[in-house]
Amino acid sequence: MVKKQRRHTAAFKFRVTLEGSKTISQLSSEHEIHANLIRAWKRQLQADGPRVFATNGERKQREQEAQEAELYEQIGRLKMELEWLKKKLPASVRERRCMVDSQHAVLSVRRQCELLGLNRASFYYTDQAIVSTSVT
């Protein structure tokens, strides 16, 4: 018969690892948990313990650094898009359609059409008069 794997809550793990008056073998037999699992929980608590007592300033600083990294990424992307858009936007749809580079490495056709104010459908549109004259 296969024994179903038990899942332990974080509170239970914390309580077991802090029972310092008992040995690991006593804890193991009392809670019916393998000793190696208790040792792993204790190692994890020792490694992650300093984060519990981190000051609000340290947490805020980490959050701010993460936010700054995200903003710098956005700035880089927008800067690249702006350089691409520095070309003067022509008034006619045909000229704007010619500006779209379908092989561009970074900007998708969708994004280029959006930046140009061009409907994607009009980018893919082929004039039937041109198609019929080239076929005959």
> Could you give the CA distance from residue 118 to residue 5 in angstroms, rounded to a whole number?
57
- pLDDT at residue number 88: 62
- pLDDT at residue number 45: 86
pLDDT by 10-residue block (mean), the chain, 136 residues: 80 86 88 90 85 74 91 91 70 83 90 86 77 57
Nearest to 122 by CA among 87, 85, 95: 95
- pLDDT at residue number 129: 62
